[in-house]
Amino acid sequence: MEITKYPKHLAIIMDGNGRWAKKQGLLRIFGHENGARSVRQTLEYCVEHKIPYLTLYAFSTENWNRPADEVKALMDLLVKFLKKEFDDLNKNNVRLNVIGNLDRFPDKTKEVLLNTIEKLKHNTGTTLTLALSYGAREELLTAAKHIANKVSKGDLAVENIDETLFKQHLYTSNLPDVDLLIRTSGECRISNFLLWQIAYAELYFTDVLWPDFTKKDLETALLSYQGRERRFGKISEQLT
């Protein structure tokens, strides 16, 4: 079956790197390294099929609790990925974006990340958003605090707070809501990812571990998405 309907905003929880490495008898970091290949293939597909927004859950706020050597390896891998992929990102007109709290990031990692974002900011193709040190609850609390601060200063009236205003205070204020959320590795939970933004998203769960996730697996997910009726609270007859 041909895919004729693509999501505007695709989000992916890239899960299963550690289990993939364990199955191969390797250290966990090798799973993350091989997962980068799946990132590349997925992004290439989005560029090719003009999917405007791709958001990847790369490092959660909870991931800081992992062993220090694994966290350091992940930071080093991010730097390596950005440097290695920069030319292709630029050639493919990809714009890079990041959401999350970067305060805890090593200076070197943050510098490379922000410099890459700056160099790619004028590109107009697919926007690749990396969720780094990201947690949806923290995001919502931060937004609430910013709004409360404006109210306390008299800069904002409570009656003017609505969904549009609240969204403007989220990390994703420059992104549309998610249309399709994919999670790999067989886990069927959201894990504190984009809780506001996936309110009406279609969810797709697959047993495939992230390093094994191919363009064919992505197409299977997209075909499932295409076959779903998105009613947004309406009934089928209203859509036609």
The reply to whether 63 belongs to the active site is yes
Whether residue 191 is annotated as binding a ligand: the answer is yes
Whether residue 228 is annotated as binding a ligand: the answer is no
Whether residue 183 is annotated as binding a ligand: the answer is yes
Whether residue 212 is annotated as binding a ligand: the answer is no
Task: Choose the catalytic residue: 15, 179, 212, 217.
Answer: 15
* DSSP designation for 212: G
Give dist(CA 218, CA 208) in Å, integer: 11
DSSP letter for each residue of 53-110: EEEEEEEEGGGGGS-HHHHHHHHHHHHHHHHHHHHHHHHTTPEEEEES-GGGS-HHHH
Task: Choose the catalytic residue: 34, 63, 93, 179.
Answer: 63
Give dist(CA 124, CA 127) in Å, integer: 8
Residue with tokens 């109210």: 151
Classify residue 238 as exposed, middle or buried by CB count within 10 Å of its CB (0-12, 13-18, 19+): exposed
CA 13 to chain centre: 7
Whether residue 202 is annotated as binding a ligand: the answer is yes
CA distances (Å), origin 69, targets 28, 66, 146, 152: 11, 8, 35, 43
Whether residue 99 is annotated as binding a ligand: the answer is no
Whether residue 19 is annotated as binding a ligand: the answer is yes
Whether residue 15 is annotated as binding a ligand: the answer is yes
Whether residue 196 is annotated as binding a ligand: the answer is no
The reply to whether 15 belongs to the active site is yes
Whether residue 64 is annotated as binding a ligand: the answer is yes
Whether residue 40 is annotated as binding a ligand: the answer is no
Q: Locate 104 and state its tokens.
A: 């805890």
Q: Which spans in the chain are helix H?
A: 17-23, 28-48, 68-91, 107-119, 136-152, 163-167, 215-226, 236-239
Phi/psi region, residue 232 (left: phi>0; alpha: psi -120 to 50; beta: rest), is left
Whether residue 61 is annotated as binding a ligand: the answer is yes
Which residues carry out catalysis? 15, 63
Binding-site positions read 15-20, 28, 32, 60-62, 64, 66, 183, 189-191, 202
Binding-site positions for substrate read 16-20, 28, 32, 60-62, 64, 66, 183, 189-191
Binding-site positions for Mg(2+) read 15, 202
